[in-house]
Structure 1
Amino acid sequence: MKTVTDTLSTYLNTKKEMLSCDLYTLTLYDGTKYYYTDADHDVTYNNNTYSHNALLLHRDQTVINNVLSVDSMTISIYATKDDKLGDKPIFLAAHDGSFDRATMALARAFFDTDGTLIGVIDLFSGTTEVTACGGLVMTLDVKSQVQGFSQEFPRRKFYPQGTFSTSGGKVSSSTEEDSASVIAPYVPLKEVLL
C-alpha cells in the first residue's frame, strides 16, 4: 500500500481530471544522482530539480504480480551525442558500464491547475540493466530489489583442491603444489573475472 499526504489523498479522491508527471531518479553505483522528468518544465521536489530538457524518457507499464516474482519496468531513453551523463555522452557511459549496479526510482507528481506541486507517490524502484543501446535510443530493464532472491545458495563455493595462488597482485597456477585454494562465485557476476 502506498502512503500519501492528506492533501494528496483529498486531491486523488475528488478530482476527475489530474495534472501529473513522472519523476525519475537515476543513482549510479558510486552514489551520483541524476534527476529527470517527462513534464514540460523543470520540477523541484525535496530540494532536487528534475530536468525536463536533459533526456527524453518513455516507460512501459510497471509489471507487478501477486506472486513471488521479479517485478520489472522497461524505460527507453532517447538522446543525442550531446546528452551527457557526467562528462561522457550517455551512450558511451552505458557502453563503459556506468549503468552497472545503478538504480532507477520512479515517482508520480501531481499538480493543481496553477502548476503547484500537491504531492508525490513513489511507484517503483529497482536495479538497471541495459538491454539495448545504439542509434538514438537506449533501453533499460529495471528490476525490483527482489531479483536477488532467485539466486542459489550458498553464494560462493570453496574449492580446496584449486592450484591457484596470488603473488604481487597476479593470479597464477601451479602444477606442482595444491596448497592454495579458490573461493569462486557459484553464480558468476559480470564484474567478477575468474
Structure 2
Amino acid sequence: MKDVGTGLENYLNTEKHMTSCDLFVLQLANGTKYYYTNADTNVVYGGNTYRHDQLLIKRQQVKLNATVVVDTMTITVYADGAVNLGSKGIKIAAHDGTLDRTKMLVYRAFFDSDNAILGVMGIFGGSVEVKKCGGLTLELTVKAQTQGLSQEFPRRKYYPQGAYSTTNGKVTSSNANTDSCLIAPFVPLKEVLL
C-alpha cells in the first residue's frame, strides 16, 4: 500500500480528470543525483529541479500489489550525444560502466488546476542495469530492491566457519580456521543438517 497525504488521497478518490507526470531520480554509485521528468516543463519538487529538456523517458506500466513481489521495470531513454552525466555522454556512461551500481527512483506527481503540486507518490525504485544502448535509445532495466526474495534459501541448515570434510558419511571438522576453506550451499556432502 502506498503512503500518501490526506490531500492527495482525497484528490485521487474524487477527481475524474487528473494532471500528473513522472519524476525520475538517477543516483550514481558515487552519490551524484540527476533529476528528470517526462512533463512538458521543468518540475520543482523537494528543492530539486526535474529537467524535461534533456532526456525523453518512457517507462512501462506499474502494477501495484498488496504482497511483496520481485519486480522489474523497463525504462527507455531517448537522448542525443549532447546529454551528459558529469563529464561524459550518457551513452558513453552506459558503455564504460558508469551506470553500474546505479539506483533509479520513480515518482508520480499530481497537480491541481493551477499546476501546483498536490502530492508525490513513490511508485518504483531499484538497481539499474543497462539492457541495450545504441543509436538514440538507451534501455534500462530497474530491478526492485526485493530482487533477492526470489532466491530459495535452504532452511535449518548450518554452515560452520571452520574447515571440514566427510569420510564414509561422517563429518570430520577442524578447530582451525583456514582462509582457503569454502563452504557453499547446495554442494552435495558438504552440508550439515541440524
Between the aligned residues of both structures, percent identity stands at 50
Aligned-residue offset at 1:62: 2.4
Name the structure 2 match of 1:73: 73
Distance in 1, Cα, partners of 2:32 & 2:52: 19
Structure 1 segments unaligned to the other structure (5+ residues): 161-179, 187-194
| Aligned partner of residue 53 in structure 1, secondary structure | coil
Aligned-residue offset at 1:148: 2.5
Change (3 A) 1:182 1:93: farther
Aligned-residue offset at 1:111: 0.5
- The one-letter code matched in structure 1 to 2:19 is L
Quick check: 1:105–1:125 contact (8 Å CA) kept in 2? Answer: yes
Distance in 1, Cα, partners of 2:66 & 2:39: 31
Q: Under a length normalisation based on structure 2, what TM-score does the superposition of the two structures give?
A: 0.76
Distance in 2, Cα, partners of 1:58 & 1:70: 21
Name the structure 2 match of 1:109: 109
Name the structure 2 match of 1:35: 35
The alignment of Structure 1 onto Structure 2 pairs a total of residues equal to 169
- The one-letter code matched in structure 1 to 2:72 is S
Quick check: 1:76–1:137 contact (8 Å CA) kept in 2? Answer: yes
Change (3 A) 1:132 1:10: same
Higher Rg: 2
Question: Which structure 2 residues correspond to residues 38-187 of structure 1 after superposition, within 5 A?
Answer: 38-63=38-63, 69-150=69-150, 181-182=179-180
Distance in 2, Cα, partners of 1:28 & 1:124: 17
Aligned-residue offset at 1:110: 0.5
- The one-letter code matched in structure 1 to 2:89 is P
Change (3 A) 1:116 1:153: same
